[in-house]
Amino acid sequence: MLSTNLKYLRKQLNLTQVQLAEKLEIKRSLIGAYEEGRAEPKLVTLVKMAQVFNLSVDELINPDLPNTAKGGGGRRQPNVKVLSITVDAQDRENIELVPYKASAGYLNGYSDPEFMEELPKFRLPMIQSPGTYRAFEIKGDSMLPIPSGTVIVGRYVENWQEIKDGTPCVVVSLQEGIVFKRIYHQQKETALRLHSDNPSYEPYTVALEDVVELWEAKAYISTTFPLAEISLDKLTSLVLDLQQEVKKLKTAK
């Protein structure tokens, strides 16, 4: 599929094999080999290709783009945002960590390879499923018993319709920034409804057109261990009591 897609995309951008090779910083003969299916590019080259054609790596290698374009529907066509990634010395995708302090910058830099290169990176050997993964540090008590400061490791979601209702996800949107919630589909499929695990927080909706990225939670990392024999209701009550005490202190000033 890659060979067909590569040739199709190159012609869509009116690029010769020489011009594409220059953009990818490889030999022209390799472009010919890739298009004829005689060779497979390394992951780092695939990433560069995806950036040149403004696609994710999955979109570059999985769908039959020429036939999809003829049908006029289905998956996204060229001219969509790039899902920037980084790779290690063995051409394996890293998991980039987006600290809470970098959340605001992520909205502007999620497609910028230079921004992604500056983020901390790591790998988790227990995650073997294919896909692109990213980690986000969350703040607040809306998803208790998962505590504030937890790092959520999510797998990039290509098609939000494949996500089942109630799935915990990191939602990156223009409206709300980066939030960790359980998502539910709206009937008209024009928005996502976001639910917190903490009943003190009301659900709310985010328009799909405002959703920049969706990451299905696959693991979480926390340095805070859960308290023994304490229910969610009790934990929520303790948090509410603390919030009330803070309000009293502010009023007293």
Supply the pLDDT for residue 74. Answer: 41
Indicate the CATH number of 2-71 among 1.20.1050.10, 1.10.1040.10, 1.10.260.40, 3.30.365.10: 1.10.260.40
Domain boundaries, the chain: 2-71, 130-221
> What is the arrangement of strands in the sheet containing 151-156, beginning at the earlier edge strand?
121-122, 95-98, 133-137, 151-156, 211-221, 167-173, 177-185, 191-195, 204-207
Supply the pLDDT for residue 187. Answer: 61
Supply the pLDDT for residue 253. Answer: 66
**d(Cα 247, Cα 253) in Å, to the nearest integer?**
10
Q: Are 127 and 110 in contact (CB under 8 A)?
A: no
**d(Cα 77, Cα 64) in Å, to the nearest integer?**
11
pLDDT along the chain (253 residues), means of 10: 87 87 90 87 86 83 68 42 73 90 85 82 87 94 93 91 93 92 83 94 91 94 79 79 88 76
Domain 130-221: which topology?
Umud Fragment, subunit A (2.10.109)
In terms of Cβ atoms closer than 10 Å to its own Cβ (0-12, 13-18, 19+), residue 80 is middle
